[in-house]
Amino acid sequence: MQIIIAKCKEEFDRIAADTVSQQIKDKPNSVLGLATGSTPLGLYAQLVERNKRGEIDFSQITTFNMDEYKGLPKDHPQSYHYFMHKYLFDEINVRPENINIPNGEAADWAKECAEYEEKIRAAGGIDLQVLGIGHNGHIGFNEPGTPFEALTSLIELDKRTIKANSRFFDSIDQVPRQALSMGIKTIMQSRKLILMICGRDKAEIAYKAIKGPITPEVPASVLQLHPFITVLLDQDAASDL
């Protein structure tokens, strides 16, 4: 596990963007795994700028997002489809047919999950997966207690996740209670990972994920077992290490 502590938010975003850019330069037809949430917003802004400046090319890139709320239509402002298009996909030269996000409105969940796994396999697997972490240690929407062997599945969101994500909705009642998420095993099968952690409020979980016991109660702790993971923290998130 490589641990990098960025001096400031600008450096944090730049290092994350350098990691993704390098992956794209090394392998122009890379398969990228992507996350939503506040943490990667600066990364996506940098990727957009670099793409507009002609420094990186997404024309052969395939993407797989980790998760989507159950029941939210693609054009709902809080859906992860909407988020990804707004902050990244609509601003770069990725081909629409190469974008993959779980379908929050799938009629048959088991089928949607199995097909998502199959699509990842058919694309050759994920080369670089971008991850954030929840206050409870979730990665994707794999909440505490999720078995490490889990593949893409329908997840019951934890109370703490619903509360944290209610900041984006008008009220907590509007936050979906379920989501479709790539499994922990799916995430661990990625060739490389970058886990991004920022903010003082993430310091305790950062410590547990990086230095604590490896346990399903802290889903991100499984990442200690991955041979090619970079953990990128800002100084606040690293303050308990």
E strands, the chain, in order: 2-6, 31-34, 62-65, 67-69, 99-100, 128-131, 153-156, 178-181, 192-197, 229-234
Contact 51, 87 (CB under 8 A): no
Q: Determine if 35 is a binding residue for ligand F6R (CB under 6 A).
A: yes
Q: Determine if 140 is a binding residue for ligand F6R (CB under 6 A).
A: yes
Which tokens belong to 25?
Answer: 């330069």
Catalytic residue among 136, 142, 226, 234: 136
Residues 145 to 184 in contact with ligand F6R, rule: CB under 6 A = none
Give every CB contact of residue 189 below 8 A, 6+ residues apart in sequence.
Answer: 125, 126
Catalytic residue flag (residue 136): yes
Q: Determine if 233 is a binding residue for ligand F6R (CB under 6 A).
A: no
Among 38, 124, 147, 174, the residue binding ligand F6R under the rule CB under 6 A is 38
How many chain residues bind ligand F6R (CB under 6 A)?
13
Binding mask 84-123 for ligand F6R (x = CB under 6 A): ----------------------------------------
Q: Determine if 205 is a binding residue for ligand F6R (CB under 6 A).
A: no
Give the span between the Cα atoms of 148 and 189, in whole angstroms.
11
Give the span between the Cα atoms of 152 and 175, in whole angstroms.
21
Give how far the C-alpha of residue 241 lies from the chain's centroid of Cα atoms, to the nearest Å. Answer: 23
Contact 232, 202 (CB under 8 A): no
Give how far the C-alpha of residue 37 lies from the chain's centroid of Cα atoms, to the nearest Å. Answer: 8
Among 36, 79, 186, 190, the residue binding ligand F6R under the rule CB under 6 A is 36
Region binding ligand F6R by CB under 6 A among candidate stretches 69-77, 118-126, 127-135, 221-229: 127-135
Give the span between the Cα atoms of 164 and 31, in whole angstroms.
29
Contact 74, 82 (CB under 8 A): yes
Q: How many CA atoms lie within 13 A of 16 on its CB side?
A: 32
Catalytic residue flag (residue 90): no
Binding mask 47-86 for ligand F6R (x = CB under 6 A): -------------------xx-------------------
Q: Which residue is nearest to ligand F6R (CB)?
A: 132
In the bound complex, what is the minimum distance in angstroms from residue 53's beta carbon to ligand F6R? 26
In the bound complex, what is the minimum distance in angstroms from residue 39's beta carbon to ligand F6R? 3
Region binding ligand F6R by CB under 6 A among candidate stretches 49-57, 114-122, 128-136, 222-230: 128-136
Catalytic residue flag (residue 115): no
Q: Which amino acid is at 115?
A: E
Catalytic residue flag (residue 135): no
Interface residues with ligand F6R (CB under 6 A)? 35-39, 66-67, 132-134, 138-140
Active centre residues (catalytic): 67, 136, 138, 143
